Structure 1
Amino acid sequence: MNFNGKVAVVTGGGSGIGKATAKELVKLGAKVVINGRREQVLLDAAREIDPTGESVYAIAGDIRQRDTSTIIAKETVDRFGGIDVLISSTGIFKPTPFLEHTEDDFNAYVDTITKGTFFIAQAVIPEMIKRGGGAIVNVGSMWATQAIGATPSSAYSAAMAGRHALTRNLAIEFAGEQIRVNTVAPAIVETPVYHSFVPQEQLRSVLDSFNTFHPLGRIGQPQDMVSAILFLASDEASWITGAILPVDGGVTAGKH
C-alpha cells in the first residue's frame, strides 16, 4: 500500500490502535495529524511516530467538543494542504451493569464515540471533496452488534452502534463525491483501554483468559487492526464502501 502524497487525520491517535495506525501511515508516506485529549501523551506519540516532526503534527483537544473538529480540519489544511483520509479511533470502555450507568456515563460514551465521529467527519468531508474524494475508516466494535455477558456494556454498545450507522449513512450520501466510508469492528484487542479498569498486576492474566473466547485462539493486537484499517483507507479498496468489517478472531462468525 502506498500513501505517498496523502494527508490523514487520526483521532484517538495518542495510544492504542490510533497511534499504531498513524505510525504505519507515516511509514507508508503519508503526512499525519493526530488528535487526543492528553497533550503530553499526544506529543510523546508524535515524537515516537516521527522524531523529525516533518510528517506528523499533534493537535490536542477534546473531540467531544464540536469546535475541536473545526480546529483539526483547519490546522491540517494549513499545515499539509488538504485532507485525504480520516481514521476515527476515539473510544472509552469500562464494562458496567445497565442499572449502574449514570447519565454522565451515558453522555461520555455518546459524546466520545458518536459525536466524536459525527463532527470530525462533518469538518473534514468538505476538504475531501476539494481533493476529489477520500476515505474514512471508523474503529467500531463487536459490541455494537453482540452482547457479551461477561462484559455488560450497554452504553458503549449503543454509542458504537451509532458509529456503525453513521458509516453506512455517510457511505451512501457521499459516494457521488468519491468518499468511501467503512468501519472495522474488533473484538478484544490489547490496548491501554483495559488499564482503566483492570488492576495492573492482573492485566496479563485477565487478557489471556479471553484468548479462547476467540475462535482463532488469541486476543487481537493493534497491528491486526492496522492492517485492516489501512487496506480500507487505501486505493486497493476503491470499490468498498459502507462495509462493517469484523476483525475479531472469528467471534461473530458463530457460536464457539
Structure 2
Amino acid sequence: MTDRLLREQDMSDQRVAIITGASQGIGAGLVAAYREIGYAVVANSRSIQSGDDPKVAAVPGDISDPATAERIVKTALDRFGRIDTLVNNAGIFVAKPFTDYTPEDYKNVLNINVGGFFYLTQQVIEPMLRQGGGHIVNITTTLVESARSDIPSVLASVSKGGLAAATKSLAIEYADRGIRVNAVAPGMIATPLQGGATPEQLAQYHPMKKAGTVEDVAHGVIYLERAPLVTGEFLHIDGGQSAGR
C-alpha cells in the first residue's frame, strides 16, 4: 500500500473532536480527556497556541466571529478529514445585580455564549451528516435551573439557558440522522476562572460539600461520548446543587 493510501486510511479511522474555550480550565481538561481516548482535537480559544502534540491543532480566534467558526471547521477537515464531536465549552460569566448590567455586558455575553455556539454548531452539522453522524455537547451551568440569590446570574440564565433549550430541540431535529446532542451543567468547579475562590469555599454551594474539579466535568463529557443511546440529556455535575437544598 502506498504512503498516500496509508495516510488516507489513518485519517478515515481517526476520530476528531472540536473543543472551544480550550486554553485553560475545563476546556484544557477536555482536550486532555479526548486525547486520552484517542481522539485528535481541534482546540480553540482567543489566545491558544500550538504545542508539541501533532494530534492537537490550535485555532486561535474569537468564537463570536463567524469567520473563526469557519477556520475551525476547515482546519478539522483539512488536517484530520472529519468531525465526530463538538464541545461548545467557551463562555463568559458576569455576576452582577440585574440593573447593573451594561449594554456591553449584554453584548459580550450573548455574542460569546450564544453566538459562538450558533455559528460553530451550524458549521459542523453538514460534515457530520455526510459521514453518518456525530455528537454535540453544550456546556451550560446548573444555575440555569437552580438560581441563587447570592450569585446574580441573569445573563448566564439568558445565554446558557438558551443553549439548554437548544440542546433538546437539536437532539430531536437530528435524532434520526445520527447526530446526538447533549448538555453538561457544571456546578462550582475549581478552575482559574473562579476569581481566587478556594475549593473549600466553592464546596459550600454543593450539598455534597465537595467542589467540582475539571476532571469531574471531563469524565461526564466522556461518559456522554460513549453512550450511543443518550441524546437530549442534561448531565448535572454539581454535587447535588440542582436537586435542592
Superposition TM-score, scaled by structure 1 size: 0.88
Say whether 1:27 aligns with 2:36: yes
- Alpha-carbon distance, 1:176 to partner: 1.7
Q: Please, which of 224, 240, 244 is the counterpart of residue 250 of structure 1?
A: 240
Query: Does the aligned pair in 2 maintain the 1:118–1:166 contact within 8 Å?
Result: no
- Alpha-carbon distance, 1:94 to partner: 2.9
* Superposed CA offset, 1:151-207 (max 9, x none): 101111210101101111111111121100000101110112223xx5xxxx33xx4
Greater CA deviation, 209-218 or 65-74?
209-218
- Residue aligned with 1:190, SS: coil
* Superposed CA offset, 1:120-158 (max 9, x none): 110011111111101111111111112111110111121
Q: C-alpha distance in 2, partners of 1:105/1:12?
A: 19
2:145 counterpart residue number? 145
2:10 counterpart residue number? none
Note the residue ranges of structure 1 that are not aligned, 5 or more in a row.
none
Q: C-alpha distance in 1, partners of 2:101/2:94?
A: 11
- Residue aligned with 2:204, SS: helix
Identity percentage over the alignment?
A: 35
Q: C-alpha distance in 2, partners of 1:75/1:211?
A: 39
| Runs of 4+ displaced beyond 3 Å | none
- Alpha-carbon distance, 1:54 to partner: 1.4
- Alpha-carbon distance, 1:17 to partner: 0.8
Map 1:57-206 onto structure 2 (within 5 A): 57-195=57-195, 198=196, 203-204=197-198
Say whether 1:7 aligns with 2:16: yes
1:214 counterpart residue number? 206
Q: C-alpha distance in 1, partners of 2:209/2:194?
A: 19
Query: Does the aligned pair in 2 maintain the 1:138–1:167 contact within 8 Å?
Result: yes
2:217 counterpart residue number? 225
Query: Does the aligned pair in 2 maintain the 1:92–1:193 contact within 8 Å?
Result: no
Q: C-alpha distance in 2, partners of 1:146/1:85?
A: 28
Letter of the 1:252 counterpart? S
* Superposed CA offset, 1:198-241 (max 9, x none): 5xxxx33xx4223132111111000000000011122xx11110
- Residue aligned with 2:18, SS: strand
Note the residue ranges of structure 2 that are not aligned, 5 or more in a row.
1-12
Q: C-alpha distance in 2, partners of 1:190/1:212?
A: 12
Q: C-alpha distance in 1, partners of 2:202/2:38?
A: 36
Q: Please, which of 22, 25, 46 is the counterpart of residue 16 of structure 1?
A: 25
RMSD across aligned C-alpha pairs, in angstroms? 1.3
Query: Does the aligned pair in 2 maintain the 1:93–1:193 contact within 8 Å?
Result: no
- Residue aligned with 1:86, SS: strand
Q: C-alpha distance in 2, partners of 1:76/1:209?
A: 40
Q: C-alpha distance in 2, partners of 1:54/1:209?
A: 39
- Residue aligned with 2:99, SS: helix
- Residue aligned with 2:150, SS: coil
Number of residue pairs matched by the alignment: 233
Query: Does the aligned pair in 1 maintain the 2:190–2:202 contact within 8 Å?
Result: no
* Superposed CA offset, 1:71-114 (max 9, x none): 11111100000100101101111311101001110111111111
Q: C-alpha distance in 2, partners of 1:133/1:212?
A: 41
Letter of the 2:215 counterpart? Q
